[in-house]
Chains A and B, each alone.
Chain A
Amino acid sequence: MSLIRKTAAELGSMIAAGEVSAVEVAEAHLDRMAEVEPKVQAFLHVDREVTLEQARAVDARLRAGEKLGPLAGVPIAHKDIFTTRDMPTTAASKILEGWRPPYDATVTARLREAGLVILGKTNLDEFAMGSSTENSAYHPTHNPWDLTKVPGGSSGGSSAAVAAYEAPLSTGTDTGGSIRQPAAVTGIVGMKPTYGGSSRYGLIAFASSLDTPGPFARNVLDAALLHEAFSGYDPMDSTSIDAPVPSVVEAAKNPDVAGMRIGVVKEFAGEGYQAGVLARYHEAVQLLESLGAKVVEVSCPSFTTALPAYYLIAPSECSSNLARFDAMRYGLRVGDDGTRSAEEVMALTRAAGFGPEVKRRIMLGTYALSSGYYDAYYGQAQKVRTVIAREFEAAYQQVDVLVSPTTPTTAFPIGERADDPMAMYLADLCTIPSNLAGNAAMSVPCGLADEDGLPVGLQIMAPVLADDRCYRVGAAVEQALESRWGGSLLSKAPQL
């Protein structure tokens, strides 16, 4: 089997055993990228020489006998919202075009320490605002299952790169579903760790109380290995949790759900859900039952209000966070002709540098925070956030994990929802509650919808710092379904 089809765990073992070098593995993936990138367009920045230099350094460290982790030498695609010293960082925005950060994000630094080799920076919706990657200021990314469809978003470059075998692993960030939704619609595994379980230092901020870095992979164990490699306490992030990383790798290796209590969220089904999505979802629930799990229906009535609460809270935080793009210290500056004031230059720069969705959210957030509207909008949304967290707590009194479809539909056509913000926002209907409550949540492939033959994801939600439960259930579903299918879901994807 060619190197690009191997799992990250296999590649790590082969490199550690000296059967193949990190440079050879990186070259195989760079060659694959050269072949399929014209169709997929998952990356914003690729620099072959920078990547090979990293791979050579890892080979040298291994030759020198340095003890590195299980992913040493394994290539990874890195979302272009994490700062990187040796590659530009743009958040897919024109306002940061060509920006070279003076420091590495903690996630970036930990990838390097673990010996992962960064293949390039992946495309996203500008500042991670979107569900389709069409809001990138540079170009859209195409779903490897059907190039006319979106790869999800905001981490759509990262999901497409892994689904197209350009990289065995990638990083994402999840504020309202931006890892789980793209994972679901490209047929791969995506994990949103517990909020505060992975560091936000050097992650360009969108909504600071929600933003969570997490892994993408083609299987549950690989996702767990990457989760473990970059997660854990970081003194540079004031909301980082000072506690051990949940034992996610061990859980991924023990796919046993016998006796586990699984709650089916009653509110996440029915009208607005694609029939093929619901069919695969119900089969997955039955499968878990057949594996010995106890399945019960759980009602969380306020989850249906999570979407409107999120579209008040996230834009409010974004309007504040994006104030830093002031055309003074870094990034774009427009209209500084010697006659205009700083304030005029700022307004011209921000109008030229931000795309439509970013402008919409900044203005919406400014509105929700204005005096006279604050209590009715932002204040009320924060109360709804409390109510949702309490419904999760009540549910976890009865069950160990909750499940739902990850998304109401499969991948939609590029362009279909591009200028219809409300339709676009519905893509995150099922994923948002976990962000508001800070819970752990995963999407794992559970089949193809009959109508369109496109991937469907099962969402598994677990309490704060019980990330390992997502991996245990995810691995059980994966093992049972792959034995039924005779291989991974992704092996059914058309050749690119």
Chain B
Amino acid sequence: MSAITRDEVAHLARLSRLALTDDELDHYATQLDAIIESVAKVAEVAAEDVPPSSHALPLTNVFRADEVRQSLTPDQALGGAPAVEDDRFRVPRILGEEA
């Protein structure tokens, strides 16, 4: 039995905002199936009572003083943008036609 189906991979691609072709979906479905089967080995470690680590170091929140500091100018911030209009990022429509 496979760990992941082609339909599930298509769903993951949608969630990941990746417009994949049918060929790519076939290819990744096979590869992801093999990878997931292999990483499932983590279940072999008995760790029911072990706390999870999200991080290697025992860090708590880090704060800094709320002071105004130098930051990027509008020109610098917009310098790498694909499209700019009136000192703003110009983006494709984000709402449906009726909105």
Contacts and interface: CB of A to CB of B under 8 A. Distances in A.
A380 B80 contact: no
B42 interface: yes
A376 B43 contact: yes
Nearest to A319: B16
A389 B19 contact: no
B38 A102 contact: no
A422 B32 CA distance: 10
A437 interface: yes
A384 B44 CA distance: 10
A366 B16 contact: yes
Nearest to A346: B17
Contacts, number: 179
B16 A363 contact: yes
A346 B42 CA distance: 33
A239 B59 contact: yes
Interface in B36-65: 36, 38-45, 47, 50-57, 59, 62, 64
Contacts of A99: 80
A343 interface: yes
Interface string A352-383: 00100001101110111010000011011111
Interface string B10-34: 0011111111100010001001101
Q: How large is the interface on B (under 10, 10 to 19, 20 to 34, 35 or more residues)?
A: 35 or more
B47 A438 contact: no
B57 to A, nearest CB: 6
B72 to A, nearest CB: 5
Contacts of B4: 367
Contact of A438 (B20, B34, B57): B57
Contacts of A435: 56
A330 interface: yes
A48 B13 CA distance: 42
Most chain A beta carbons < 10 A, residue from B18, B19, B64, B77? B18
A333 interface: yes
A362 B16 CA distance: 7
A332 B82 contact: yes
A383 B17 contact: no
Q: Is the interface of A mostly helix, strand, loop or mixed?
A: helix
A389 B16 contact: no
B41 A308 contact: yes
Contacts of B93: 341-342
B31 A360 contact: yes
B62 to A, nearest CB: 4
A384 B42 contact: yes
Contacts of A319: 16
A348 interface: yes
B35 A360 contact: yes
B91 interface: yes
Q: Select the residue from A235, A319, A326, A345 with max chain B CB neighbours within 10 A.
A: A345
Interface residues of A, number: 72
A207 to B, nearest CB: 11
A196 interface: yes
B47 A364 contact: no
B76 A102 contact: yes
Contacts of B13: 363
B42 A312 contact: yes
Interface string A380-393: 11111111010000
A386 B53 contact: yes
B52 A379 contact: yes
B1 interface: no
A332 B80 CA distance: 9
A366 B11 CA distance: 10
B94 interface: yes
A311 B35 contact: yes
Given A99-B80, A102-B77, A351-B19, A209 B72 contact: no
A365 to B, nearest CB: 9
A238 B56 CA distance: 14
A211 to B, nearest CB: 11
B81 A329 contact: yes
Contact of B20 (A239, A312, A359): A359
Interface string A319-342: 100010011111111001010111
B72 A103 contact: yes
Given A330-B82, A344-B92, A422-B35, 10 more contacts: A209-B54, A309-B39, A311-B38, A323-B17, A332-B82, A350-B16, A359-B24, A376-B43, A380-B47, A383-B52
11 contacts: A210-B56, A309-B42, A328-B91, A360-B31, A363-B9, A363-B12, A380-B43, A387-B47, A389-B56, A421-B34, A436-B56
| 5 pairs of A and B residues whose beta carbons are closest in the complex | A438-B56, A382-B52, A330-B80, A333-B82, A383-B47
